[in-house]
Protein backbone atom coordinates (compact mmCIF):
# COMPACT_ATOMS: atom_id res chain seq x y z
CA UNK A 1 0.00 0.00 0.00
CA UNK A 2 1.27 3.42 -0.90
CA UNK A 3 0.19 6.60 0.86
CA UNK A 4 0.20 9.59 -1.46
CA UNK A 5 1.15 12.76 0.41
CA UNK A 6 -1.17 15.78 0.37
CA UNK A 7 -0.42 18.13 -2.49
CA UNK A 8 1.43 15.52 -4.54
CA UNK A 9 0.71 15.84 -8.20
CA UNK A 10 2.12 15.16 -11.61
CA UNK A 11 3.91 11.93 -12.21
CA UNK A 12 2.25 9.61 -9.66
CA UNK A 13 0.07 6.71 -10.74
CA UNK A 14 -0.81 3.24 -9.60
CA UNK A 15 0.77 0.54 -11.70
CA UNK A 16 -0.69 -2.91 -11.21
CA UNK A 17 1.42 -6.03 -11.63
CA UNK A 18 0.84 -7.96 -14.86
CA UNK A 19 -2.30 -10.12 -14.63
CA UNK A 20 -3.90 -7.98 -11.89
CA UNK A 21 -7.12 -6.06 -12.38
CA UNK A 22 -9.13 -3.70 -10.21
CA UNK A 23 -12.71 -4.80 -9.53
CA UNK A 24 -14.97 -2.75 -7.25
CA UNK A 25 -12.08 -1.18 -5.38
CA UNK A 26 -10.35 -4.56 -4.90
CA UNK A 27 -7.53 -6.15 -6.80
CA UNK A 28 -7.74 -9.58 -8.39
CA UNK A 29 -4.84 -11.55 -9.71
CA UNK A 30 -5.92 -13.39 -12.83
CA UNK A 31 -4.78 -16.98 -13.14
CA UNK A 32 -4.64 -18.91 -16.36
CA UNK A 33 -6.74 -21.75 -14.98
CA UNK A 34 -9.56 -19.37 -14.16
CA UNK A 35 -9.92 -20.74 -10.63
CA UNK A 36 -10.36 -18.61 -7.56
CA UNK A 37 -8.51 -20.38 -4.79
CA UNK A 38 -9.44 -18.04 -1.96
CA UNK A 39 -12.53 -16.05 -1.06
CA UNK A 40 -13.41 -13.51 -3.72
CA UNK A 41 -16.12 -10.99 -2.96
CA UNK A 42 -15.54 -8.64 -5.86
CA UNK A 43 -18.94 -8.86 -7.45
CA UNK A 44 -22.43 -7.59 -6.71
CA UNK A 45 -24.72 -9.54 -4.40
CA UNK A 46 -27.14 -11.91 -6.10
CA UNK A 47 -30.21 -13.80 -4.95
CA UNK A 48 -29.99 -17.16 -6.69
CA UNK A 49 -33.07 -18.72 -5.08
CA UNK A 50 -35.95 -17.38 -2.99
CA UNK A 51 -39.25 -19.14 -2.45
CA UNK A 52 -41.80 -20.30 0.06
CA UNK A 53 -41.95 -24.05 -0.38
CA UNK A 54 -45.27 -25.46 -1.53
CA UNK A 55 -47.05 -22.16 -2.24
CA UNK A 56 -47.01 -19.51 -4.96
CA UNK A 57 -47.08 -15.74 -4.57
CA UNK A 58 -50.56 -14.26 -4.17
CA UNK A 59 -52.00 -17.45 -2.73
CA UNK A 60 -54.42 -17.44 0.22
CA UNK A 61 -53.16 -19.47 3.15
CA UNK A 62 -54.94 -20.80 6.23
CA UNK A 63 -54.01 -19.44 9.67
CA UNK A 64 -51.54 -21.76 11.36
CA UNK A 65 -50.06 -22.95 8.06
CA UNK A 66 -46.25 -22.62 8.36
CA UNK A 67 -44.22 -20.67 5.80
CA UNK A 68 -41.23 -22.74 4.67
CA UNK A 69 -38.92 -20.00 3.39
CA UNK A 70 -35.82 -21.05 1.38
CA UNK A 71 -33.05 -18.91 -0.13
CA UNK A 72 -29.58 -18.96 -1.63
CA UNK A 73 -27.43 -15.88 -2.25
CA UNK A 74 -24.03 -15.23 -3.73
CA UNK A 75 -21.41 -12.56 -2.91
CA UNK A 76 -23.54 -10.99 -0.19
CA UNK A 77 -21.91 -9.42 2.84
CA UNK A 78 -25.26 -9.26 4.65
CA UNK A 79 -28.60 -11.05 4.15
CA UNK A 80 -31.92 -10.11 5.78
CA UNK A 81 -35.14 -12.12 5.55
CA UNK A 82 -38.26 -10.49 6.97
CA UNK A 83 -42.02 -10.90 7.21
CA UNK A 84 -44.01 -7.67 6.93
CA UNK A 85 -47.69 -6.98 7.67
CA UNK A 86 -48.67 -4.96 4.59
CA UNK A 87 -51.69 -3.46 6.36
CA UNK A 88 -49.66 -1.83 9.13
CA UNK A 89 -46.17 -1.86 7.62
CA UNK A 90 -44.88 -3.56 10.78
CA UNK A 91 -42.14 -6.17 10.64
CA UNK A 92 -43.64 -9.32 12.17
CA UNK A 93 -40.37 -11.26 12.31
CA UNK A 94 -36.89 -11.11 10.79
CA UNK A 95 -33.64 -13.00 10.51
CA UNK A 96 -30.91 -10.39 10.41
CA UNK A 97 -28.25 -11.33 9.68
CA UNK A 98 -29.39 -14.48 7.95
CA UNK A 99 -27.11 -17.12 6.47
CA UNK A 100 -26.08 -16.73 2.83
CA UNK A 101 -28.05 -19.90 2.09
CA UNK A 102 -30.74 -21.01 4.43
CA UNK A 103 -34.18 -22.10 5.45
CA UNK A 104 -36.66 -20.70 7.92
CA UNK A 105 -39.84 -22.49 8.88
CA UNK A 106 -41.96 -19.63 10.25
CA UNK A 107 -44.86 -21.18 12.14
CA UNK A 108 -46.35 -18.20 14.03
CA UNK A 109 -49.06 -17.69 11.39
CA UNK A 110 -52.10 -18.39 13.58
CA UNK A 111 -53.54 -14.90 13.02
CA UNK A 112 -57.05 -14.09 14.28
CA UNK A 113 -57.59 -11.54 11.49
CA UNK A 114 -56.96 -11.62 7.75
CA UNK A 115 -53.37 -10.47 7.16
CA UNK A 116 -51.71 -9.41 3.91
CA UNK A 117 -48.15 -10.64 4.41
CA UNK A 118 -44.94 -9.93 2.51
CA UNK A 119 -41.88 -12.18 2.76
CA UNK A 120 -38.82 -10.22 1.62
CA UNK A 121 -35.12 -11.02 1.26
CA UNK A 122 -32.46 -8.33 0.91
CA UNK A 123 -28.85 -9.16 0.06
CA UNK A 124 -26.23 -6.43 0.41
CA UNK A 125 -22.68 -6.31 -0.90
CA UNK A 126 -19.85 -3.91 -1.61
CA UNK A 127 -20.31 -3.51 -5.35
CA UNK A 128 -23.01 -1.75 -7.29
CA UNK A 129 -25.86 -2.17 -6.84
CA UNK A 130 -25.25 -2.14 -3.08
CA UNK A 131 -28.33 -4.29 -2.39
CA UNK A 132 -30.86 -6.44 -4.19
CA UNK A 133 -34.16 -7.74 -2.90
CA UNK A 134 -37.04 -10.00 -3.82
CA UNK A 135 -40.42 -10.39 -2.22
CA UNK A 136 -43.46 -12.64 -2.21
CA UNK A 137 -46.91 -11.54 -1.03
CA UNK A 138 -49.53 -13.78 0.55
CA UNK A 139 -52.89 -13.44 2.28
CA UNK A 140 -53.46 -15.39 5.46
CA UNK A 141 -57.24 -15.57 5.44
CA UNK A 142 -59.11 -15.55 8.73
CA UNK A 143 -61.33 -18.59 8.93
CA UNK A 144 -64.84 -17.37 8.22
CA UNK A 145 -67.66 -18.19 10.62
CA UNK A 146 -70.22 -19.22 8.03
CA UNK A 147 -73.63 -20.58 8.96
CA UNK A 148 -76.70 -21.37 6.88
CA UNK A 149 -79.70 -19.83 8.60
CA UNK A 150 -82.24 -20.12 5.81
CA UNK A 151 -82.47 -21.07 2.18
CA UNK A 152 -84.58 -19.88 -0.72
CA UNK A 153 -85.13 -22.73 -3.15
CA UNK A 154 -86.49 -20.73 -6.09
CA UNK A 155 -87.49 -17.13 -6.62
CA UNK A 156 -91.11 -18.22 -7.14
CA UNK A 157 -91.43 -19.67 -3.65
CA UNK A 158 -90.95 -17.21 -0.81
CA UNK A 159 -91.25 -18.00 2.83
CA UNK A 160 -88.09 -17.59 4.90
CA UNK A 161 -88.61 -14.37 6.85
CA UNK A 162 -90.89 -13.10 4.09
CA UNK A 163 -92.40 -10.53 6.40
CA UNK A 164 -88.94 -8.85 6.55
CA UNK A 165 -88.14 -8.68 2.85
CA UNK A 166 -91.30 -9.07 0.78
CA UNK A 167 -92.85 -5.81 -0.51
CA UNK A 168 -96.03 -7.37 -1.89
CA UNK A 169 -99.31 -6.26 -0.27
CA UNK A 170 -100.23 -9.96 -0.19
CA UNK A 171 -97.03 -10.94 1.57
CA UNK A 172 -97.31 -13.70 4.13
CA UNK A 173 -96.76 -12.90 7.78
CA UNK A 174 -96.02 -16.42 8.89
CA UNK A 175 -97.02 -19.93 8.11
CA UNK A 176 -96.37 -22.48 5.37
CA UNK A 177 -94.57 -21.84 2.10
CA UNK A 178 -96.50 -19.33 -0.02
CA UNK A 179 -96.29 -18.61 -3.74
CA UNK A 180 -95.96 -14.86 -4.26
CA UNK A 181 -98.35 -13.17 -6.69
CA UNK A 182 -96.15 -10.39 -8.02
Domains of the chain, first to last:
46-140 (2.60.40.10)
Per-residue pLDDT of the chain (182 residues; tens, 9 = 90+): 667 667 665 555 667 777 787 777 677 776 655 555 555 555 788 899 999 998 888 888 888 889 999 999 988 889 999 999 999 999 999 999 999 999 999 999 888 888 999 999 999 988 888 899 999 999 988 767 778 877 766 666 556 676 776 666 665 555 444 443 43
Give me the pLDDT at residue 132, please: 95
Count the Cβ atoms, other than its own, within 10 Å of residue 108: 11
Give me the pLDDT at residue 45, please: 87
Beta bridge partners of 100: none
pTM over 0.85: no
Give me the pLDDT at residue 170, please: 61
Give me the pLDDT at residue 89, please: 94
Rounded-to-integer distance, Cα 74 and Cα 43, Å? 9
Sign of CA dihedral 87, 88, 92, 94: positive
User: What is the DSSP secondary structure assignment for residue 142, as one 8-state letter?
Assistant: P
C-beta separation of 52 from 121 below 8 A:
no
Amino acid sequence: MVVVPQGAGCGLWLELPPGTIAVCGRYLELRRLGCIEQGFEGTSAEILRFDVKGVTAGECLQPGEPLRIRWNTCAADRVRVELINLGSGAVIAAQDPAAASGRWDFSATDFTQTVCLRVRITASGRCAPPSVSRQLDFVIQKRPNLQVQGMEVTQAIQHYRADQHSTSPTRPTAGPTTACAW
